[in-house]
Structure 1
Amino acid sequence: MSKLENVLYGSRLKPLLFLGALVLILPLVVKSQYLFTIFILIGIYSIVSIGLCLLIGYAGQISLGHAAFFGIGAYTSGILTTHFQISPWLAIVIGMAATFFIAYLIGIPILKLKGHFLALATLGINIIFFILILGLNQWTGGAAGLVGIPTLSVFGVSLIDKVFFYFFVWASCLVVLLLSLNIVRSHVGRVLRSIHDSEIATETLGVQVSNYKVAIFALSAAFASLAGSIYAHYITFVAPPTFYITKSILFLIMVMVGGASSVWGALLGTAIIMFLNEIIRFVGHTYFGISGEVEIVVYGLIIILIMMYLPKGLISVISQPLQKLKHKKQLPAKTTKDMISQKGV
């Protein structure tokens, strides 16, 4: 069965070991605190993009509202720890549970929609959340934001040091990644692919499509909530602009650029967009005197080019040569075996 899984889905262990080794090696090579901040944010945003990849790439359901779920996690952790002095770890769990429940209830009606109607509905969720955090200023701090969110600590050791927090973020990301890979390789993953290809055909097989769609929507929202809580305890401050529609669009671009049909593509797309974001800001400010969110214009151009020339994302540029190489290695062995069998006959 494991050989069949490797043929269908590719190896799982080797990429995980490579990523784990890369995570361990980077602190030995990189000493810049600025770069560490980028690596931490890549890990946080990767948790969101992995969940969004399961929803879009595997279940075929679009979402432009994941910044709202990201914000629910951040504000739940922030409010519970600052106003009620609850443990940050407990606040993270409560935030994930609350987000899962909210997303499940929301998903029941809106996932009956399809295509651009579903995209607009999820966009509406983001707008409603943004208005709520602005209006509930006695809890959220309103436009001024919520300050004084405590940092995380493990066994009495504070994670305020960027290296410690870096390892915690990527450990969390690897857990989410492993869970997602298990889902993709399971019966649930096969059902999600079937839903992506044809909901009607899947329903004719007796599958309750709506249950799977709502469940994966809620799970991806819970992942976003986890990332939001980690973000809040890292920055120790949250404000409404962080969770506006542009953040949802950014998450979507990360998934599409990397490749929505692969969980690994979500990681790749997140890393590329994060570094590209910093390069655009530096070049625009230094050489052209441009300020503001000019990167959104570049993202629009990137997504158009990706959809035109690389619809499967940049992960296909890496995976296709590797598959051809693997096929070439297997071909001589197969030919030799056939020749022996023919001589035996």
Structure 2
Amino acid sequence: MTKSRYFGLAVIVAVLLVLPQFLQNGFHYDLVIRMAINAVIVLGLNLLIGFAGQISLGHAGFIGIGAYASAILTSHFNWHPLAAMAAGAAAAGLLAALVARPIFKLKGHYLAMATLGLGFILAIAMKNEGAYTGGPDGMPVVPMTVAGWEIAGEKAWYWVMALVLSISVWASLNLIDSPFGRALRALHGSEVASQVVGVDVVRYKVAIFVLSAVFASIMGSVTAHYVGFVTPNVADFFHSIELVTMVVIGGMASVYGSVVGAVLLTALPQALATFEGWETVAFGAILMLSMIFLPKGLVPTLAAKLGRSE
């Protein structure tokens, strides 16, 4: 890992340490916590889309698996929250491993449609299974406890998510600098060339899809325990598109772009609320202008203009 990347991680940690001094109420804490949750999900999704070059338009389905695993196992079967979270992550990883091989035989828009269909299937299952999930109305989730300590209140959740985000950024940076990360970048550039030099393309595609699904599932569980309630909306199509947009706006194949994209697109709807009915128009215009003038994403474009690496 280069010194510049260590510097970027240090900046994130410093901001997280100082930020509570500027958060004035519970709403501000809630917004920052949601930014951090989205950032961790987008980090995993960017490893799949940005670094490996594989699209996923149904990724919110894995978030739903984690959220409902935590809700169902803790409420109906009295599992410990951490055990339920681990079970959800294992279920999401297993499902991703099972569907990855047939899905990733497809290319282009066929691949996009396949992942989109997977997301729709998961969302419909969560909405229709009323006995355990509460159907469209959703269901409550018990508080998160760790070693007998109940995580309650925005300040406690802020520090938990600050730690999780810092570790996730550090892990992502190390991953992309590892032989595994170099293999991902190679198959993104050319699958044929990657095979020629000995990269097992299928195995790496499956592995990164599973890893990104586990990222999403864990954050789904975290979201469920933080909010205290879960509905099928957590797994819907629009949530998946929102996550992909965060990847694109921040910058594909950019770890810090993932964080910036998640922060901006989580905060933007709140900032546009003053437009009173024109929020969607303003939001679309901003995204369109971003794609025109920042085609590679915000962080890579600014880094290139400054003559620096990410």
The residue type paired with residue 100 of structure 1 is G
1:89 offset after TM fit, Å? 1.0
Superposition pairs for residues 1-345 of structure 1, below 5 Å? 5-6=1-2, 11-147=4-140, 149-280=141-272, 282-285=273-276, 288=277, 295=280, 298-323=282-307
Gaps of at least 5 residues in structure 2 are: none
Secondary structure at the aligned position of 1:26 is classed as helix
| Equivalent residues of 2:44, 2:211 under 8 A apart | yes
State the distance in 2 between where 1:12 and 1:112 align.
34
State the distance in 2 between where 1:209 and 1:306 align.
33
Secondary structure at the aligned position of 2:63 is classed as helix
State the distance in 2 between where 1:156 and 1:73 align.
22
The residue type paired with residue 65 of structure 1 is G
Secondary structure at the aligned position of 2:36 is classed as helix
Structure 1 stretch 221-230 or stretch 175-184: which is displaced more? 175-184
State the distance in 2 between where 1:321 and 1:102 align.
42
State the distance in 1 between where 2:59 and 2:195 align.
27
TM-score by structure 2 length? Answer: 0.95
| Equivalent residues of 1:253, 1:299 under 8 A apart | no
State the distance in 1 between where 2:27 and 2:85 align.
26
1:162 offset after TM fit, Å? 0.4
1:74 offset after TM fit, Å? 0.4
State the distance in 2 between where 1:303 and 1:232 align.
29
Note the aligned Cα RMSD (angstroms). Answer: 1.7
Gaps of at least 5 residues in structure 1 are: 327-345
C-alpha change, 1:300 and 1:115, in structure 2 (3 Å) is farther
| Equivalent residues of 1:256, 1:303 under 8 A apart | no
| Equivalent residues of 1:255, 1:266 under 8 A apart | yes
1:98 offset after TM fit, Å? 1.2
1:18 offset after TM fit, Å? 1.3
C-alpha change, 1:300 and 1:215, in structure 2 (3 Å) is farther
State the distance in 2 between where 1:170 and 1:225 align.
18
Give the aligned length: 309
TM-score by structure 1 length? Answer: 0.85
The residue type paired with residue 44 of structure 1 is I
| Equivalent residues of 1:70, 1:224 under 8 A apart | yes
State the distance in 2 between where 1:277 and 1:25 align.
24
State the distance in 1 between where 2:97 and 2:269 align.
33
Identity of paired residues, percent? 39
C-alpha change, 1:57 and 1:102, in structure 2 (3 Å) is same
State the distance in 2 between where 1:304 and 1:60 align.
22
State the distance in 2 between where 1:283 and 1:234 align.
27
| Equivalent residues of 1:74, 1:231 under 8 A apart | yes
Residue 334 of structure 1 aligns with which residue?
A: none
The residue type paired with residue 276 of structure 1 is L
State the distance in 2 between where 1:27 and 1:157 align.
22
C-alpha change, 1:223 and 1:317, in structure 2 (3 Å) is same
CA shift digits 1:90-123 (9 cap, x unpaired): 1111111111111111111101111111111111
Secondary structure at the aligned position of 2:54 is classed as coil
Secondary structure at the aligned position of 1:311 is classed as coil
